Amino acid sequence: MLEKGTQAPDFTLQDKDGKEVSLSDYRGKKVVLYFYPKDNTPGCTNQACAFAGAYNEFLDLSAVVIGISKDSVASHQKFAEEYKLPFILIADPERVAIEAFDVWQEKKNYGKVSMGVVRTTYIIDENGIIEKVMKNVKPDTNAQEILTYLRK
């Protein structure tokens, strides 16, 4: 995992609409960058819906929400449409940002070891510096924990 106080690595990847998005596009704003394993799985859907439900609160705090997984643009588009997700979803099938942010790691699930995305949220300040790192977050409470932190 990257550490608090580190410059966030820039990336340019496609969003759910196939539009190129760079992290540096959001300099001057607080960015909530969350990495999740897979579209349309129970935990990831709960997490995305929690962000969607709190989206106006993030806007009120001038925070940009960006979700990233290794799913395709088409998968993200269907996921966003089905659950009415108003925030940016970025496709990273080549794991460019996923590896740059060091969230591609060994995971254990029911005794089986595999590589995958560790559910992690980074809060990046207006200058592109990582302000907070939240590791192994809980999908149901992540959005509210971030809002509580941002309101301080």
Domain total for the chain? Answer: 1
- What CATH number should be reported for the domain holding residue 52? 3.40.30.10
* Residue 67 within a domain: yes
Point out the residues that are catalytic: 44
Question: Helices 73-83 and 42-53 meet at what angle, rounded to 10?
Answer: 60
pLDDT digits (tens, 9 = 90+) for 5-36: 999 999 999 999 999 999 999 999 999 999 99
* Residue 16 within a domain: no
For 16-44, give the DSSP string: TTS-EEEGGGGTTSEEEEEE-S-TTSHHH
* Residue 128 within a domain: yes
Mean pLDDT of 99-120: 92
* Residue 70 within a domain: yes
Model's pTM, two decimal places?
Answer: 0.96
**Residue 62 sits in which domain range?**
27-151
Residue that has been written with the tokens 């959001």 in this structure: 26
* Residue 49 within a domain: yes
